[in-house]
Amino acid sequence: MRVHICAVGRLRAGPEKNLIDDYLTRFDRTGRALGLGPARLVEVEDRKGGGMAAEAGLLRRSIPQGSVICVLDERGKVMTSPKFATRLCDWRDDGCSDLALVIGGADGIDPSLRAEADFSLSFGQMVWPHMLVRVMLTEQLYRAATILAGGPYHRT
CATH of the domain at 9: 3.40.1280.10
Residue 44, domain member (yes or no): yes
Residue 93, domain member (yes or no): yes
pLDDT of residue 64: 97
Residue 9, domain member (yes or no): yes
Residue 38, domain member (yes or no): yes
Residue 15 lies in domain: 2-149
- The yes-or-no verdict on residue 122 having pLDDT over 50 is yes
Mean pLDDT of 96-121: 96
Mean pLDDT of 131-142: 96
pLDDT tens column, 27-80:
999 999 999 999 999 999 988 888 899 999 999 999 999 999 999 999 999 999
Sheet holding 39-44, edge to edge: 39-44, 2-8, 98-103, 68-78, 119-122
Residue 154, domain member (yes or no): no
Position with higher pLDDT, 155 vs 79: 79
pLDDT of residue 155: 60
9 contacts: CB under 8 Å, gap ≥ 6? 43, 45, 105, 130, 131
Total structural domains within the chain: 1
Residue 156, domain member (yes or no): no
For 116, other C-beta atoms within 10 Å of its C-beta total 15
How confident is residue 132, by pLDDT bands cut at 50, 70 and 90? very high
Residue 97, domain member (yes or no): yes
